[in-house]
Amino acid sequence: MHAPGADGTTPAAQLQRIVQAQESKDLLRFITCGSVDDGKSTLIGRLLWEAGALHDDQLATLQADSRRIGTRGGEPDYALLLDGLSAEREQAITIDVAYRHFSTARRRFIVADTPGHERYTRNMVTGASTAALAVVLVDARKGLLPQTRRHSYLVGLLGVRHVVLAVNKMDLVGHDQAVFEDIRLAYAELAGTLGLAAVQAIPVVAVAGDNITSPSKHMPWYSGPTLLQHLESVDVDSGESRQAALRFPVQWVNRPNPDFRGLAGTLASGSVRPGDAVRIVPSGQRSRVARIVSFDGDLAQATAPQSVTLVLEDELDVARGDVICSDAAPAQAASQFQATVVWMDSEPLLRGRSYGMRIGTASAVATVMPIRHRIDIHTLAPVAAERLELNEIGEVEIEVDRRVAFDPYRDNRETGGFILVDRLFHRTVGAGMLHFALRRGDNLHWQNLDVDRAARRQLNGHGSAVVWLTGLSGAGKSTIANLLAARLHALGVRTYVLDGDNVRHGLNKDLGFTAQDRVENIRRVAEVARLMVDAGLVVITALISPFRAERRMARELFAAGEFIEVHVDVPLALAESRDPKGLYRKARSGQLKNFTGIDSPYEAPESPELLLDAGSIPAPDAAERILQRLADAGVLP
């Protein structure tokens, strides 16, 4: 039994009151960014120290480590508070995003210390994606560097509207006001070109704490706020997310019993009350809010970013990924967009390759078509590009397989931002911002015709499908395709062979053999094959088609059972020994670049409908096995 406190409350009640007091404080998320060794980690460490956010054991460890390694002026090395990885200490750089939470009497803070090196652009994007303010550090001795431009560009791109320009290491330039003013004016010019309107410049000495939490006696000429004063008082929100139009991405449909159907999620922006008129996007259905259900019971109002369950007056067809909007100001819906993408994967972004796209709670299949240009991160100028490599930023056009709800990123970061995901391995490969819809598809409508696929199949007297032969050059794909077509023709089956070499004489004569051209080659052939299957034919493709992602894309164009993937498997040594066209010899001598199996990979199918060991099975027998597979599938007459 715990004794009550002086005010008569129990310890549990006192603890609850403390927790409630903390939760009632406004939360500011901010990042620090700058070039390597500008002092980002030191600044945050000093801020935590001065704000009293460290435990006794952290202080003791910091002092012991600082004595061990030795520091400038005998000051503790505050960077040790954040650089938690031994690799970082060895390299003297931050190589990942380090997050820290601290609180003052006026506000709670989550700060992200982001890497300074260009190689870790993706890490900075991760840290800045949820930040409302950025602290951009500049070494007073060096002034603005290319990294300053890069980080400031990313800050503006990601919608971070408030910037603190922290001019650090002022002690190493004699606390000279003229040095500070030159840097402040140069940055103001840069900020103007990037649209960064709210910039507060502060001269600091992070290691000594000058202008971190209290004014510096060494720089009496500076009369502005200290860093902590600015962080505590800056109005980064102004109620924008609460005052914006309602955006409620549906996360899941809650139906515990037949009499209750709730739509659960988190308000991305705006507020909602019972009786409000709403519109479901992208379907356009309309209704009114009947109830707002929360863990604590029904609410009279919900405001971003609360998590609640909405009950509508009408039982509509609403699912995960739909967005409940204010009827007076709904989100847009589209399937084609202009966007900016920050690429985060070691495998490049290729035009025509499909990726998983997640925007809010919605998921779709996205294809980049085309890459308009990439951004030269040093000059910020657009540069022509056919692909995006790791950490590169590009302006692209994106097409998704269905209409999704969105707002331009500049208007709403929650409904305008998205990520791209590798569809095979489910890793995040890119992050992006939607700018506007491309209305090309809005004027296109599918024309229904009386003579359809079923009618053509009936007239032909057999089914239709695509036999997709894939394998190394020299595996025997074209030979097998030719034999198979002859056997089908003898049976009265209408066929057509799309041979890899043949299509490059016409349909794909503008394509080379780079990775992006190979992707486009497969996309075009797959679309033609789909039309031919719709026409009632049995289509046989004989292409290397080296990438799993594109073969998956091709498969998804067809109905279940219409796509028969056949891996014509042969050891590389055997394929190279055949070499009927002399291609391997040229590739080995360096005369032929991007040749599959030599300097470009072949990704073997993981679960094809048919695996043919072309090293041991004669081509006629291989063709017979495919013929039997078609018979088993009910394609043959």
Strand partners, 368: 398
Residues linked to residue 115 through DSSP beta bridges, in sequence order: none
High-pLDDT (> 90) share of the chain, %: 58
| Distance (Å, whole) CA 351 – CA 516 | 6
Range with lowest mean pLDDT among 227-236, 243-252, 440-449, 570-579 = 440-449
pLDDT for the residue numbered 395: 95
Better-scored residue on pLDDT, 369 or 478: 478
Q: Residue 502: helix, strand or coil by DSSP?
A: helix
d(CA 64, CA 624): 77
Query: Which stretches of 404-560 are DSSP H helices?
Result: 413-416, 453-460, 477-490, 500-503, 515-534, 548-555
Q: Say yes or no to pLDDT of 267 above 60.
A: yes
| CB-CB contact of 421 with 357 (8 Å) | yes
The residues annotated as belonging to the active site are 545
Q: Residue 139: pLDDT band by 50, 70, 90 thresholds?
A: very high
**pLDDT at position 581:** 75
User: What pLDDT does 88 receive?
Assistant: 40
Mean pLDDT for the chain? Answer: 86
Residue 130 is predicted with a pLDDT of 84
Q: Which amino acid is at 94?
A: T
Give how far Cα 158 sits from Cα of 126, 194, 433, 501, Å: 10, 12, 8, 45
Which tokens go with 212?
A: 């971190």
Q: Comparing 331 with 42, which gets the higher pLDDT?
A: 331
For tokens 């290691």, what's the residue?
207
Q: What is the pLDDT of residues 60-116, one digit of tens each?
A: 554 454 444 444 454 555 555 554 333 343 444 444 567 788 888 888 999 888 776
Closest CA to 370 of 346, 401, 330, 339: 339
Distance of CA 378 to the CA centre of its chain: 22
Q: Is 161 exposed, middle or buried (0-12, 13-18, 19+ CB in 10 A)?
A: middle
String of DSSP letters for 281-296: ETT--EEEEEEEEETT
Q: Are 111 and 30 in contact (CB under 8 A)?
A: yes
Predicted local distance difference test score (pLDDT) of residue 456: 92
Q: Is the pLDDT of residue 409 over 80?
A: yes
Confidence of residue 12 (pLDDT cuts 50, 70, 90): low
How large a percentage of the chain has pLDDT more than 70?
Answer: 86
Helix axes 40-50, 56-69, angle to 10 degrees: 140
Bigger pLDDT: 576 or 133? 133
Beta strands of 275-407 (E only): which ranges? Answer: 277-281, 286-294, 297-298, 302-303, 307-312, 323-326, 332-343, 349-350, 354-359, 362-375, 382-383, 387-388, 393-406
Instruction: Retrieve residue 150's tokens.
Output: 């890069």
Specify the residue for token string 């004569």.
Answer: 509
Residue 54 has pLDDT above 80, yes or no: no
Taking 90 as the threshold, does the pLDDT of residue 235 lie above it? no
Name the 3-class secondary structure at 387: strand
CA separation for the pair 637, 631 (Å, rounded) = 8
Max Cα distance, the chain (Å): 99
Query: Which of these, 52, 412, 26, lies nearest to 243 by C-alpha position?
Result: 412
pLDDT digits (tens, 9 = 90+) for 467-512: 999 999 989 999 999 999 999 999 999 999 999 989 999 999 998 8
Task: Return d(Cα 78, Cα 206) in angstroms, integer.
Answer: 9
Contacts 24+ apart (CB under 8 A), 210-215: 210/170, 210/171, 212/43, 212/46, 212/47, 212/50, 213/47, 213/50, 213/51, 214/50
Cα atoms in the 13 Å half-sphere on the side-chain side of 87: 3
Q: What is the pLDDT of residues 532-562, one digit of tens each?
A: 999 999 999 999 999 898 999 999 999 999 9
Using CA atoms, how far apart are residues 608 and 612, in angstroms rounded to an integer? Answer: 10
Q: Is the pLDDT of residue 443 over 90?
A: no
